[in-house]
Chains A and B, each alone.
Chain A
Amino acid sequence: MDSLRQEKVQKFEEFVDRRLKPDLVHAIAERDKIFDQQKIFSDLRKNIENLEKNSVTSLRTLVNLGSEVYMQAEVPDTQHIFVDVGLGFHVEFTWSEALKFISLRKEKLERQIEEYTRLIASIKAQIKLVCEGIRELLQIPEEKTVEGRVF
């Protein structure tokens, strides 16, 4: 009887360690990627708004040729900006169009983030469930939420 219980406990623990925890890590990583993208687009939006505010028509920048070797570059006309819309395509926008696009993009990204957050929460709940099951098996007295994070 006891050995059976031990086996079950072990199986549960293995399940948690091998399936649930890596899943959790994976989901968190994906969500972080989306956060990064979101940040990129919000930066772009700020820059465009800046350009618009100062009515900058031409621009001088330093372009990284690789290994931190820079060369001066000039942008004569800043009215048209090419924005990456995914799948390797870049669309030529005017400033206002670009801003609209960026806000649309942001919405999409936020929805994705929400999805990932839900996934992460469910994985965490599963882990907690399995730990509770182990506790019952071992008949450890139930602890209140004071314990904090189990895993």
Chain B
Amino acid sequence: MGKSQVKGTVTSLSSMFPAEEVQKAAKMVEDKLSDKQNEMNQLKEFIANNTSLINLVQKLPDELHHDIMVPFGKAAFFPGRLIHTNEFLVLLGESYYTERTAKQTVEILKRRGKSLESKVNTLKAVMQDLKAEASFFDSTASEAAEGLVEIREYEEDNSTERASQSGSLELETPSVAEADNKMGASEDDEYARIMSRLEELEKEELAAEDNEENLEDEDEDANAVESDGNEDELIKAAEGDGDEDEWTKAAFHRKKDECYSYLDHGQRYSESQSRKQLQQFNGKEPIEEMSNKYKHQDLTNQFASTGLTEEPVTKGEISHGRIIQQDTKSLSPSINASAPFEKKSVQASKSEFDSSKAFTGSIVEHTQNLDKSSVGTNMTSLQSSGSQPSKPVSRFKMQRK
């Protein structure tokens, strides 16, 4: 595809990782590192003492008596002798002592040495991790100072994501992706919820066209039940790679058969949005703002025709999702990531829904190209929704348009 299919974000590294904070983080890691180093030194000292004691204990039984200066308190000595040179009183801890021979004492001390060694090894591993962290922070700080910029490009085939990141940035991506994943996970739930509401709305519209509002209630209940059960699947489907693409493709094909011309757009669009983008989407707040602004507009537009003004709340939420899709074009590209996510999650849920619920709501489209087509398709969808046993997937794909 041409440039129109490529969306990208350019983020200055310094805005994502402010230089000061990175330096602070680097210092913290260095402090921790020095603490661990001190502990390591102490442990090494213990080990050295232990080995020298082992030597001593092994040598003492060579003689019957040893002449020594016996300490008397901290400031005085008595000349004396060591007797019973094969009997050692060893402290086991918690004021428990045991009398042991030299050999047994040596064994005890060797076991102590082993445990000390294992402690040293774990401490070494921890220190290595800290060092890696510190080097990472340092490199980030230097890059942020240089004004490096992170460029993300989104294309159809998902393969060109994050096209122009610096190499070291990839180190960050795990942590960033993690954070985004967590955000994505929480957002997934929200989107799933929104999509379920959307589905309910659509069902209502369908029912309104086909029957009276009685059917709507039934459908809504069924939808609510299904949507609740499907939220998890939605999330899974949304985060699953590849499956959604195939699924969306299939749905799109079906939609084509159902005279939804804009499915092509939606298909392309869904493919262009990778899940990673979704997971890295952080623009939830602007979406909410947008939805608040446009809530009323969409409500009147979308629901006046269906005559379902009785449930402004649920519809509003659905329209919220729709609005998001509509206005994403005007928002930063990051918001676009959410829309396809919604679409995908919706698609996943839709597949669970009964096919009789056609999509009748407005369709939000991200790309500028598709906006006009989406308007047209909205109208057509509204008109033709009643006559089609739309598959759940397709409904939302149409939404995307």
Interface residues of A (CB under 8 A from B): 40-41, 43-44, 47, 59, 61-63, 65-78, 80-84, 90, 98
B179 is an interface residue with CB less than 8 A from chain A: no
| Interface hits, B37-82 → A, CB 8 Å | 49-50, 52-53, 56-57, 60, 68-82
Interface size class of B (residues with CB under 8 A): 20 to 34
Q: Determine which of A66, A68, A78, A84 lies in contact with B75 in the assembled complex, contact meaning CB atoms within 8 Å.
A: A84
Q: Name which of B20-28, B87-95, B260-268, B339-347 contacts chain A.
A: B87-95
A6 and B60 alpha carbons, distance in the complex (Å): 71
- What separation, in Å, do the CA atoms of A70 and B84 have in the docked complex? 11
Closest residue of chain B to A98 (Cβ to Cβ) is: B76
> Given known contacts A69-B88, A70-B88, A74-B83, is B72 in contact with A90 (CB within 8 Å)?
no
| A and B contact pairs by CB, cutoff 8 A, 18 listed | A40-B73, A40-B75, A43-B73, A44-B73, A59-B80, A61-B80, A63-B71, A66-B53, A68-B91, A71-B82, A73-B82, A80-B78, A81-B78, A82-B77, A82-B78, A83-B75, A84-B75, A84-B76
A73 & B83 in contact (Cβ 8 Å cutoff): yes
Q: Which of B152-189 contact A (CB under 8 A)?
A: none
Complex contact A72–B82 (CB within 8 A): yes
- The answer on a CB contact under 8 Å between A75 and B80 is yes
- Which chain B positions have C-beta within 8 A of A73? 68, 70, 80-83
Interface presence of B105 (CB below 8 A): yes
Does A68 lie within 8 Å of B52, measured CB to CB? no
Interfacial residues of chain B within 89-107, with CB under 8 A of chain A in the complex: 89-91, 97, 105
Contacts of A40 in B (CB 8 A): 73-75
The reply to whether A70 and B72 contact each other, CB–CB distance below 8 Å, is no
B292 close to chain A: CB less than 8 A: no
Q: Which chain A positions have C-beta within 8 A of B91?
A: 68-70
- Known A-B contacts A40-B73, A47-B72, A81-B72; the reply to A69 vs B105 at CB < 8 A is yes
**B94, chain A: closest CB distance, angstroms:** 12
B82 with A63: CB separation less than 8 A: yes
Complex Cα spacing A98 to B77, Å: 12
Closest chain B residue to A84 by CB distance? B75
